[in-house]
Amino acid sequence: MIEKTLSIIKPDGVKKGVIGDIVKTFEENGLKVVAMKMIHMSKREAEGFYAVHKEKPFFQSLTDFMCSGPSVVQVLEGKNAIDKNREIMGATNPKDADPDTIRDKHGSSIEVNTVHGSDAPETAKTEIAYFFSDIETFS
């Protein structure tokens, strides 16, 4: 099924200068970029985005990290895009990520792990709408 998913190149990925490498990996794996922009999230925007984690012990630290510099938010489209993106990203903790996944190559820690990807159709829909209006995404 052709799906859309939200992807974020987190502030560590932008700082390391690996935007191009990450986008190339998506494209080589059949995912097309159908929306893209660079944003510097405010604390409030980061808290809203990660609201499902607000009870977690790492919530403050995670949202501080997410607003520590600019990120690239993008919508990826392709066959099974949601699961495919999660595969390409690798496990949340870079130590557990399969070889050659983005988090294996570029992630620094379980928190500073370079990329975000939606985890299900419902979350993809709400996460895309969090950053992009309908006329800002293509197909």
Partner whose footprint covers residue 40, from Mg ion, ligand ADP, none (CB < 5 to 8 Å by kind): none
* Shortest distance in whole angstroms from residue 135 CB to Mg ion: 27
Partner whose footprint covers residue 130, from ligand ADP, Mg ion, none (CB < 5 to 8 Å by kind): none
CA-to-CA dists, residue 124 to 21, 60, 61, 98, angstroms: 23, 23, 24, 23
Q: Write b or e for each residue in 82-111: b if 16 or more Cβ atoms lie within 10 A of its Cβ, otherwise e.
A: bebbbebbbbeebeebeeebbbbbbbeeeb
CB 25 within 8 A of CB 12: no
Q: Is 53 a catalytic residue?
A: no
- Asked if 110 interacts with ligand ADP (CB under 6 A), we say yes
Please report the DSSP string for 29-60 in residue order: TTPEEEEEEEE---HHHHHHHTGGGTTSTTHH
Handedness of CA 39, 52, 62, 112 (dihedral sign): negative
Q: Which of 116, 128, 131, 132 binds ligand ADP (CB under 6 A)?
A: 116
Query: For residues 23 and 66, which CB has a smaller minimum distance to ligand ADP in the complex?
Result: 66
Residues 74-93 as x/- pattern, contact with ligand ADP by CB under 6 A:
------------------x-
Q: Which two tokens stand for residue 85?
A: 């993106």
* Shortest distance in whole angstroms from residue 113 CB to Mg ion: 11
By the criterion CB under 5 A, which residues form the site for Mg ion? Answer: 119
By the criterion CB under 6 A, which residues form the site for ligand ADP? Answer: 53, 58, 62, 92, 110-111, 113, 116, 119
- Catalytic residue annotation: 116
